[in-house]
Amino acid sequence: MLDIWSVCWFVVFAALAGDQADYCHDTRPADRCAAMASDTHSAPPAADPCATARRVVAAEAEAVAALAQRIGPEFVRAVELVAGCRGRTVVTGMGKSGLVARKIAATLSSTGAPALFLHPAEARHGDLGMLAPGDVVLALSYSGDTAELLDLIGPIQRLGLPLIALTAAGASPLARAAEVWLDVSVAAEACHLGLAPTASTTAAMAMGDALAVATAERKGWTPEQFAQLHPGGQLGKRLTPVGELMHAGARLPRVPANAALHDVLHEISRQGLGVTSVVAAGDELLGVISDGDLRRLLEGHGAAALAMAAEAYMTRQPVCVPAETLAPAALRLMEERKITSLFVVAPAAGAARRVLGVVHLHDLWTTQWI
């Protein structure tokens, strides 16, 4: 006779056996099984990468375009603060805003407004010493409520430093503490989840670039000054002054005003630049003679040209440039005047010019940007 526990175990095993049979021999309609399998294992259709890219680019472009409508007196005040800064512009931010802040600091520095990046977390562990009287602080936080940045407000105020805040919320603690608030809010992030900083970081970057360029213009920043800070790379080559490319000293072709034709020919051939300067005492530039001038001289005067002095047929008002002229400007001048050489001069007494050297079109080719 079976006891109660044996009956219970028998029922359990029977149920399990039935479930296994149903699992192995499913009697449900095939279409229903297929639908369930599809619901369980299929992935959502993949998005078109090109369509996503276009949507992201369009969203970020709209975010940047919207900034233009907000440029006004607050922006002008920010430019005045940065342009008039006696120290450095200290740019700070956390996370993605911190990465944008680093770039803004680099752009400011390269356009004549000394700047540095201050990590707000490191500031609490000694880097507050980077702040000094005369500095201006530019703080980036989309929410305007980043704890690490809010911790900096007290030290900034104790030092009496102007604070410029780039945030999306004018009522945020950071914006309220700032002397200038620049609105960098966006309608939505470009991320499909609406979470990853995308359009917002692009807008902050654009506002930083606008601030840097406007400051450079306010300070009258020149190409020559820009070149001094960019001596390396392709940009540095483009900004090379002709004073660094010219033929000078013994490599400068020169003859005296009374030089005979054969001496002029010899000097042009010896230096191989197709031109020579005509100079007085102290290398005062009187004129120039090119190989084209010699051809025209011989065609017009024949054998009589052999007895003529250099000053008789030289070009008396040659095209000249100062040593600080940048290579692109020298090239444009050569193209406009249809010449292949420019003499580099320095002012002398009165209207006189002292020749320093000569730069040839081939010298500009060595910069590798033509």
Note the pLDDT tens digit of each residue in 167-223. 999 999 999 999 999 999 999 999 989 899 999 999 999 999 999 999 999 998 877
Distance separating alpha carbons of residues 171 and 111, to the nearest angstrom: 32
Q: How far apart are CA 62 and CA 201, in angstroms?
A: 13
In 193-267 the beta strands, taken as DSSP E runs, fall at 247-248, 254-256
pLDDT digit string, tens, across residues 67-106: 999 999 999 999 999 999 999 999 999 999 999 999 999 9
Tell me, yes or no, whether 211 and 252 share the same domain: no
Tokens read off for 357? 């050297």
Q: Domain check: are 77 and 144 in the same one? A: yes
Classify 141 as helix, strand or coil: coil
The Cβ of residue 281 has, within 10 Å, a number of other Cβ atoms equal to 6
Residues 170 and 103 in one domain: yes
Domain count across the chain: 2
Whether 61 is in a domain gets the answer yes
What residue numbers bound the domain in which 357 lies? 242-365
Report the CATH number that the domain containing residue 91 is assigned in CATH: 3.40.50.10490
Q: What is the pTM of this model?
A: 0.67
- The pLDDT value given to residue 183: 97
- Condensed to tens digits (0 to 9), the pLDDT of residues 143-153 reads 999 999 999 99
- The reported pLDDT for the residue numbered 21 is 43
Closest alpha carbon to 326 in 210, 238, 211, 231: 238
Give residue for tokens 């049979």. 21
Is 260 found in the same domain as 204?
no
Is the pLDDT at 231 greater than 90? The verdict is no
Q: 39 lies in a domain? A: no
- 67: three-class secondary structure by DSSP: helix
The reply to whether 286 and 214 lie within a common domain is no
